């Protein structure tokens, strides 16, 4: 089976990760790589490590794209830009922005300050939670990177928790390619930057699926890729670490990209792959459970998960192109 795919917003970090995965995916034919800022330029001219000298960014109109009869389009655009574009596309869509992640548009408007009047009802693209729905979806809203790591850490334990604290640290690629304080070398080098310490947007994304009280604080660390979530769970009753670990193994036993580890996971376990590794499972004298989950923010936290969703949508082996 060959899937005809295209990317809108192909020149950013997540767009480039999509190009790398899809150009090697045995079931995919890449039809276009739209980029307003790099139309006509080769991918290699922007990313020196890319192996194909011929592949170029494109600048097709939406009308031209709709006439190509593509099967799926990845939209890797800033929040707000996807709202209008996705409505006009005929193909199935996997959107990597935040524009369709909220089932309640009023919460999205409050969190992002953007009005979304579209009639699109997207499926939230966390396979570990919504695999059946993703398979049938016309539009999939790819989750945020922090939300992915936190949700995978918290889903099995939330009913046993009175409160959860997520202390998260991400490589600076999580801030995107556009210049910002947190992704400039002079700021993050030999440094850790905490930001949006109580009201980060992903907190409200997580709260859609975790009904326990949560607190969330993100930090940027001096590495390009990788994200660690250290989750502190105040348990309702006296907990047993081994029983809790077994509960996690049972919860994720059929998940191809979640590994429950015996050691405390670290970024080197997940950089450049699509896995989420979960470990730790220690309980202190205050009956506080600590669990650590790690992902590559550009892969399981973005483009890798998007391709995982595509594989599910088209009935392809879930790990194709990702292992």
What positions carry a catalytic annotation?
A: 145
- C-alpha to C-alpha distance for 294 and 200, rounded to whole angstroms: 19
DSSP codes, 84-143: HHHHH--SEEEE-SSTT--SSHHHHHHHHS--------PEE--HHHHHHHHHH-SEEEPP
* Cα–Cα distances in angstroms (integers) from residue 12 to residues 36, 195, 206, 216, in the given order: 11, 22, 25, 26
For residue 93, what are the β-bridge partners?
73, 139
Residue 38 φ then ψ, to 5°: -130, 20
- The whole-angstrom separation of Cα 297 and Cα 148 is 9
Beta strand 3-8 with 227-235: parallel, antiparallel or unpaired?
Answer: unpaired
Q: Helix axis angle, 127-136 relative to 303-313, nearest 10°? A: 50
Integer CA distances (angstroms), 176 to 76, 84, 197, in order? 11, 22, 19
In the three-class reduction of DSSP (H, G, I as helix; E, B as strand; rest coil), residue 25 is classed as coil
For residue 83, give every residue at least 6 positions away whose Cβ sits within 8 Å of its Cβ, in sequence order, or none: 99, 114, 116, 118
- The residue written with tokens 């997580």 in the block is 206
Cα dist from 228 to 13, 116, 166, 268, 293, whole Å: 19, 31, 10, 11, 6
Contact at 8 Å (CB) between 293 and 231? yes
Collapsing DSSP states into helix, strand and coil, what is residue 320? coil
- Which of 80, 70, 83 lies closest to 34 in space, CA to CA? 70
């Amino acid at each position: 089976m060959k899937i005809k795919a295209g990317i809108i917003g192909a020149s950013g970090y997540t767009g480039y990760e999509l190009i790398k995965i899809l150009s090697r995916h045995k079931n995919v034919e890449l039809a276009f790589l739209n980029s307003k800022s790099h139309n006509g330029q080769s991918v290699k001219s922007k990313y020196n490590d890319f192996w194909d000298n011929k592949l170029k960014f494109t600048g097709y109109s939406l009308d031209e794209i709709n006439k190509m009869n593509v099967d799926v389009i990845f939209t890797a655009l800033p929040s707000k830009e996807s709202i209008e574009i996705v409505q006009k596309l005929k193909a199935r869509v996997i959107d990597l922005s935040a524009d369709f992640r909220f089932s309640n548009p009023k919460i999205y408007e409050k969190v992002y300050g953007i009005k979304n009047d579209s009639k699109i009802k997207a499926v939230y693209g966390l396979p570990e939670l919504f695999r059946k729905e993703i398979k049938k979806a016309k539009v999939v809203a790819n989750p945020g990177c922090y939300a992915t790591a936190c949700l995978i850490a918290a889903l099995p334990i939330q009913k046993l928790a009175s409160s959860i604290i997520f202390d998260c640290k991400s490589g600076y690629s999580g801030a995107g390619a556009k210049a910002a304080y947190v992704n400039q070398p002079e700021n993050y080098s030999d440094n850790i930057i905490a930001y949006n310490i109580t009201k980060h947007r992903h907190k409200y994304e997580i709260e859609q699926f975790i009904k326990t009280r949560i607190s969330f604080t993100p930090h940027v660390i001096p590495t390009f890729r990788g994200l660690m979530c250290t989750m502190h769970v105040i348990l309702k009753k006296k907990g047993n670490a081994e029983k809790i670990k077994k509960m996690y193994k049972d919860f994720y036993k059929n998940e191809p990209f979640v590994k429950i580890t015996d050691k405390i996971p670290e970024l080197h376990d997940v950089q450049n792959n699509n896995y989420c590794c979960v470990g730790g499972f220690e309980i202190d004298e205050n009956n506080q459970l600590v669990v650590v989950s790690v992902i590559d923010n550009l892969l399981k936290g973005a483009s890798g998960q998007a391709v995982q969703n595509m594989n599910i949508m088209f009935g392809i082996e879930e790990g194709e192109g990702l292992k």
